[in-house]
A and B are shown apart, each in its own frame.
Chain A
Amino acid sequence: MIELDNVAYSYGGGELLSEVSLALQPGSFHFLTGPSGSGKTTFLKLCYGALTPTAGHARLFGQDVRGMSRDEAAVMRRRIGVVHQDCQFLDHLPVADNVALPLTVSGRDSLEQVSNLKELLNWVGLRDRAKALPPELSGGERQRAAVARAVIMSPDIVLADEPTGNVDWEMSQRVLQLLIELNKMGKTVMIATHDMNLIRAAKTKVQTRVLRIANRRVQAAGADL
């Protein structure tokens, strides 16, 4: 699904990531960990085509990112759900519209999808907040809305960048639970986090693989977790 082949990325001043090779298997559950600034977000951006590797090849669904036109990249992004670190909502539109945004921009906002939207908001526990504007939401509500938006197109892969960054432990458990449920439905999930407790909590519920970024490389973490 996502294949990185000897990928490197640099923002201009030296490489942030190098010699990254990885193939995400369908239905797998990954954690990506590493200290702040080690390149977790950059790695995820390489995975959904927001960045083009400065060396090596990134293939998404068999297509090389480097050869994609802007519109092809846009269409490809509809197959990958992304929960962004800072959520990235349109602040002037209510939560329901924000969650439905991927449907709207791809022209699939049919009536049938609207009922799906209700179910989805129910699932993330935001039914009563559907008409609220994003700035009115709490941190946890924003994260859950972001998860809902990431999965509304029923993507094959869900990438989450620090989905529990701004929320308390209880709320982070709820967000994690949503992502685990998605994985049980067959989605490939990758969560970037520096929260070891979250990873430990997940390990009791689902089979996970942990990737760690250290010294610009992405490696499989050992059994210490």
Chain B
Amino acid sequence: MNRLLGNFLSLFSRDAQADRMVPPTGFTARLTLFSAAAMAFLVVFALALSMATGRLAQRWGEELANGSTLRISAPLAQLEQQTAAALNVLETTPGIVGARALTADEQRALLSPWFGPDLPIEDLPIPQLIEISETEEGYDAAGLRLRLQAEVPGAILDDHSRWRKPLQQAATRLRMLGWLAIGVIAAVTGTMITLAANAALAANSQVIAVMRLVGAQDEYIARAFVRRFTLRALMGAAAGTVAGYGAVLLLPSAQGAGGFLTGLGFQGYGALWLALVPFAAAAVAFVATGVAARKSLSELS
């Protein structure tokens, strides 16, 4: 592993000589640069997706964890009495830390996106909401429902975990999908660079033959190709990453619109991951070209 890393790093310092041995080929070089850039561009989006869904899953988890809501629908006259009864039941239920009836102002704030701020909430048969805070372990939802049915007939228990879990699961899956996409892109990059390297090796068979005739060892010849493709992948991926990051920055921010969908961007240290993309591409190229070169050289006489 250390030897491999040493080889990898030495590409940037030594062996410019070996590189000169292989005549420059403008077209293949541009193709390699372009594919590395395109792949890096896609990786930026896959990374952004993974990170955004990661944040989303975390946020849904935090906001909805340890919380349930009780909704009491009753005629206005009975509402207050049923609310009090419900609060009483809730406070005596093991696993519940506290219960609090939402005030009229809070309810109005919840409804204002739909009905506007001036809703005369007092005159409408709007159900009373009770916010429930539970302990880590939670409470026995089925038991609570039975008790509420007996004592507060108009109460409906809304356990958030019922719809939180699938959402969280979906977010986790989406995140895995993002990582999978990055893996696939890395594999495709490796494939494309292998093909390009093979083409270059075939196109330069004369050069390789001359180098062998004057006593060049396989490792020396391979290095000339490896260095070239690694540097191309590094530069191409760097350009692609910058372009991808620019495109992500241009996306409209979702923060203002209620924050339900977190913006598909990079926050905090997330952007640091991007700096790794060109080096990851270079590492892929290093391995792919090395394998291709050694294989094709060993097949020569």
Interface, chain A (partner B; CB < 8 A): 50, 70-71, 74-78, 82, 84, 88-93, 97, 101-102, 104-106, 109, 149, 153
> Does A105 lie within 8 Å of B215, measured CB to CB?
yes
Looking at the complex, which one of A74, A82, A91, A93 makes contact with B216 (CB distance below 8 Å)? A74
A70 in contact with B214 given A90-B207, A92-B23, A93-B20 (CB within 8 Å):
no
The answer to whether B219 and A90 touch across the interface, beta carbons within 8 angstroms, is no
* Number of residues of chain B lying within 8 A (CB) of chain A: 22
**A88 and B213 form a contact (CB under 8 A):** yes
Complex Cα spacing A82 to B24, Å: 27
**Interface: B212 (CB within 8 A):** yes
Residues of A within 8 A of B212 (CB): 74, 77
**Residue ID in chain A nearest B14 by CB atoms:** A107
Q: Decide if B92 is an interface residue (CB 8 Å cutoff).
A: no
Q: Cβ of B217 and Cβ of A74 under 8 Å apart?
A: yes
Q: Which of A70, A77, A153 contacts B213 (CB 8 A)?
A: A77
A89 and B17 contacting across the interface, CB-CB below 8 Å = no
Taking CB atoms, residues of chain B closer than 8 Å to A50 are 213, 301
Chain A, residue nearest B209 (CB): A88
- Asked if A74 meets B218 with Cβ closer than 8 Å, knowing A84-B213, A88-B213, A90-B23, the reply is yes
A114 CB, min distance to chain B CBs, angstroms: 13
**A–B Cβ pairs within 8 angstroms, 14 of them:** A70-B218, A70-B297, A77-B214, A78-B214, A82-B213, A84-B213, A88-B213, A90-B207, A90-B210, A97-B20, A104-B21, A105-B214, A105-B215, A106-B215
Q: Is the CB of B218 within 8 A of A71?
A: yes
* B25–chain A nearest beta-carbon distance, Å: 10
Residues of A near B218 (CB, < 8 A) are: 70-71, 74
Chain A residues with CB under 8 Å of B219's CB are 71
Residue on A with the closest CB to B213? A88
Q: Which residue of A lies closest to B17 (CB)?
A: A104
A70-B298, A90-B207, A105-B220 given as contacts; is B23 within 8 A of A149 (CB)? no
Whether A88 touches B215, Cβ cut-off 8 Å, given contacts A70-B298, A104-B17, A105-B220, is: no
**In this complex, what residue of B is CB-closest to A105?**
B216
User: B220: which A residues are within 8 A, CB to CB?
Assistant: 105
A75 touches B210 (CB 8 A): no
Assembly CA distance A102 to B219 (angstroms):
15
Residues of B within 8 A of A90 (CB): 21, 23, 207, 210-211
Sample of 4 more A-B contacts, CB < 8 Å, known A78-B214, A153-B215: A71-B219, A74-B218, A105-B211, A109-B17
Complex CA–CA separation, A88 to B212 (angstroms) = 11
Number of A-B pairs whose CB atoms are under 8 Å? 61
Which B residues touch A109, using CB under 8 A? 17
Consensus secondary structure, chain B interface: helix
B211 close to A101 (CB less than 8 A): yes
Give the residues in chain B near A75, CB-CB below 8 Å.
Answer: 215, 217
Taking the closest CB of chain B, its distance from the CB of A153, in whole angstroms, is 8
A102 proximity list for chain B (CB < 8 A) = 214-215
Nearest residue, chain B, Cβ from A152: B214
Verify A77–B17 contact, CB threshold 8 A.
no
Distance between Cα atoms of A90 and B206 in the complex (Å): 8
Q: Which of B20, B21, B215 contacts A77 (CB 8 A)?
A: B215
- Provide the residues of chain A in CB contact with B21, threshold 8 Å: 90, 93, 101, 104-105
When the two chains form their complex, are residues B214 and A101 in contact, meaning their CB atoms are under 8 A apart? yes
In the complex, what distance in Å separates the CA atom of A90 from the CA atom of B17? 14
Evaluate contact between A149 and B217: CB separation under 8 angstroms. no
Q: In the complex, A106→B18 CA distance in Å?
A: 11
Contact residues in A for B18 (Cβ distance below 8 Å): 105
- Known A-B contacts A74-B215, A74-B218; A88 and B17 likewise in contact (beta carbons under 8 Å): no
Are B210 and A78 interface neighbours, CB within 8 A?
no
Residues of A within 8 A of B23 (CB): 90-92
B24 CB → nearest A CB, Å: 8
Interface set, chain B 1-44, CB cutoff 8 A to A:
17-18, 20-21, 23-24
Chain A neighbourhood of B210, CB < 8 A: 88-90, 101
List the B side residues contacting A153 at CB < 8 Å: 215
A74 closest partner in B (C-beta): B217
**Contact mask B24-66 → A, CB, 8 Å, 1/0?**
1000000000000000000000000000000000000000000
Q: Which residue of A lies closest to B212 (CB)?
A: A74
A50 to B298, CA, bound (A): 14
In the bound assembly, the distance between CA atoms of A104 and B215 in angstroms comes to 10
Q: How far is the CB of B15 from chain A (nearest CB, A)?
A: 10
